[in-house]
Amino acid sequence: MNTTLSRYAAFLVAVSLAWISTSCVLAQDNQGEPGENQASMEEAVAFIAQVENELEDLGLKLLRAKWVQWTYITHDTEQIVADASDAFGAASIQFVKDAGRYDDVELPSELRRKFDILRSLLVTPAPGDPALNAEVSRLYTELTSMAARPEYCDEDGTCYEIDELNRIMRTSRDPDSLKFAWQVGRLATPPMREKYTRFAELMNEGARELGFADLGEMWRSTYDMDPDDFIYDLDRVWEQVKPLYVALHCLTRDTLQDLYGEEVVREGEPIPAHLLGSMSSSGWANLFELMVPENADPGYDLTAILQEKGLDERGMAEYGERFFTSLGLDPLPDTFWERSMFKRPADRDVVCGASAWDLDDKDDIRIKMCIEITGRSLQTVHHEIGHNIYQRAYQDQPTLFRASANYGFHEALGSTMALSLTPRYLVETNLLEREPENASDIAVLLRSALGKVISVPNGLMIDRWRWKVFSGEIGPEDYNRGWWELREEFQGIAPPVKRPEHLFDPGTRRHIPTNVPYTRYFVSQIVQFQFHRALCEIAGQEGPLHLCSIYGSKEAGARLKVFMEMGRQYPWPDALEALTGERNMDASALLEYYEPLRRWLDEQNSGKMCGW
């Protein structure tokens, strides 16, 4: 998964890279002599202007410090980030505290929206006490660094590189080797447990000081609807996708049972997590070769094509840029090529997970990514550059509106572009001479679904676990039990060995120790297909949705530009309608995209015991 950063994001801690500390209970700040805190609309305008100007400057300093830390992990860079976070937090405490004076002032809708964003979009709220604010900052920095460790060491002091462990998970078909790598890959997380418990406790206290029941409610309030209604909406969409997921799960379990035997994989039960092709089990694309039928030749191997072309990391990024310029959008600035990190340095520790950065709301946009010369990496490049294009599009909005209409939209934008990497695109970009004849749709759709469809329930359960932690439904003594109960409920997977409570398996998902809300990825997986269907219609493309490419369509680019420039000025249903004509999340476009695969899965699963 990916993260997008901007000065606005630093300002709101929307991607949990900055420290927005909250005030004491706002109601307390509104007490005093009658008339003491009465404010005017003119004062509200001046106040928001001050907030945007001052915290924008502090956010820029914090983001630059964070860039250095993530590309050069040392004790000193951690301290630099902590110091920048403290300065940012100190200013934020006062601004959020003072904002309570304007709760009862009648304001124009746009200005009131800015106050609502200021109050509700904090991701890492600390209590108003300066000592507790500093503790939150310290815990976040420590947890982030722990999540970025490049190696894991067992009790005997033997250490294993995470890249090697991930290679085993991707390629090995030996269940004992997979179980070993899976367990070693979780050795670094138990020390997070106590830190995360305290971290969650302090953030919850900060959320309550802002008037929310807990941090989960606070996070859900960012979606322009009642926080409880938002849960129902997520469940509604999940019920649309669930039959397709269960069908994929059924075929996957049957394939693994044939490979490993009924003693390892049992019919009608969850799939052991270590057999699913990755450390996190959140995507199963590495099982594709085991599952694809013999007569389902896609007609090309994109990884082989890219490697035969002799592309390097920069060349991969250039393909991403050309996609967007083909739509009539501006090319990337020179500084993108000068300042981005395209591959893992050999001389230092870095956070290698792909992310997109905006450091000045103008031209200092960058990606940080350890690019590989593979088809999957080419898709990720398009995704990350999509973040940068989006960031640049809303740069003229006021600071508080410099973001996507909701955070799932930012994740969806680049993924939507990657859906256009079809055979037609490959021909138009000279990666293929001609579209393959008699190519199998099943092969292409199965590979895609093992990534995208399989990740849908994963996008639900990670935040569902955190929301239960924040509400107290899952206590520290039940972190692992609650984690695996949700993984079984939503994903139909189970650990290969017992996971006692002194462990901390949630810490293996980087977004938890780094405190990045995860529901955006669920939203992204749904709306990217809505975006794709609408843009294909605008581009005048006909035929199956999974074969459409908007590459080269200036009409699609123009509509996309209008959508991106809206930023967060309007509620997300307004932005969705501007692009697609629809106002609700809806999985019908996803189901249309995978319809040929669904029919094939129904044939393969006929007579089998599906579900768990």
Rounded Cα distance between 510 and 493, Å, is 19
Q: Assess whether pLDDT exceeds 90 at residue 466.
A: yes
Rounded Cα distance between 66 and 553, Å, is 37
Q: What pLDDT, on a 0 to 100 scale, did the predictor assign at position 210?
A: 81
Q: What pLDDT, on a 0 to 100 scale, did the predictor assign at position 79?
A: 85
Stretch 321-339: mean pLDDT: 96
Task: Give the pLDDT confidence of 519-530 residue by residue, as tens digits.
Answer: 999 999 999 999
SS3 153: strand
Rounded Cα distance between 368 and 504, Å, is 28
Stretch 551-571: mean pLDDT: 96
Q: Assess whether pLDDT exceeds 90 at residue 141.
A: no
Q: Assess whether pLDDT exceeds 90 at residue 18.
A: no
Least confident range of 63-72, 333-342, 468-477: 63-72
Q: What pLDDT, on a 0 to 100 scale, did the predictor assign at position 330?
A: 95
User: Strand 493-494 vs strand 365-368: parallel, antiparallel, or unpaired?
Assistant: unpaired
Task: Give the pLDDT confidence of 172-207 residue by residue, as tens digits.
Answer: 999 999 999 999 989 888 999 999 999 999 999 999
Rounded Cα distance between 143 and 17, Å, is 12
Least confident range of 25-34, 375-384, 562-571, 601-610: 25-34
Q: Assess whether pLDDT exceeds 70 at residue 572.
A: yes
Task: Give the pLDDT confidence of 41-72 residue by residue, as tens digits.
Answer: 899 999 999 999 988 888 889 999 999 988 88
**2 contacts 413 by C-beta, under 8 angstroms:** no
Residue 157 has a CB neighbour count (10 Å cut-off) of 6
**102 contacts 115 by C-beta, under 8 angstroms:** yes
Q: What pLDDT, on a 0 to 100 scale, did the predictor assign at position 513?
A: 94
Rounded Cα distance between 387 and 406, Å, is 13
**505 contacts 189 by C-beta, under 8 angstroms:** yes
Q: How far is CA 254 from CA 47, 273, 422, in A?
A: 61, 15, 29
Q: What pLDDT, on a 0 to 100 scale, did the predictor assign at position 612?
A: 96
Task: Outline where DSSP puts E strands in 332-387.
Answer: 355-358, 365-368
pLDDT band at 29 (very low <50, low <70, confident <90, very high): very low
pLDDT band at 611 (very low <50, low <70, confident <90, very high): very high
Q: What pLDDT, on a 0 to 100 scale, did the predictor assign at position 150?
A: 65
Which residues have CB under 8 Å from 574's CB, separation 6+?
405, 566, 583
SS3 366: strand
Residue 88 has a CB neighbour count (10 Å cut-off) of 26
**189 contacts 508 by C-beta, under 8 angstroms:** yes
DSSP codes, 498-538:
---TTS-GGGGSTTTTTT---HHHHHHHHHHHHHHHHHHHH
Residue 38 has a CB neighbour count (10 Å cut-off) of 10
**Bridge partners for 493 per DSSP:** 271
Q: What pLDDT, on a 0 to 100 scale, did the predictor assign at position 582?
A: 96
Instruction: Please tell me which residue, 395 or 90, carries the higher pLDDT value.
Output: 395
**172 contacts 178 by C-beta, under 8 angstroms:** yes
pLDDT band at 511 (very low <50, low <70, confident <90, very high): very high
Rounded Cα distance between 281 and 300, Å, is 27
Burial 93-132 (b: 16+ CB within 10 A, else e): bebbbbbbbbeeeeeeeebebbbebbbbbbbbbbbbbeeb
Q: What pLDDT, on a 0 to 100 scale, did the predictor assign at position 382?
A: 95
Which residues have CB under 8 Å from 443's CB, separation 6+?
292, 296, 297, 298
Rounded Cα distance between 69 and 82, Å, is 10
Q: What pLDDT, on a 0 to 100 scale, did the predictor assign at position 124?
A: 87
Cα(first)–Cα(last) distance of the chain, in Å?
Answer: 27
Q: Assess whether pLDDT exceeds 80 at residue 301.
A: yes
What's this model's pTM, rounded to 2 decimal places? Answer: 0.87
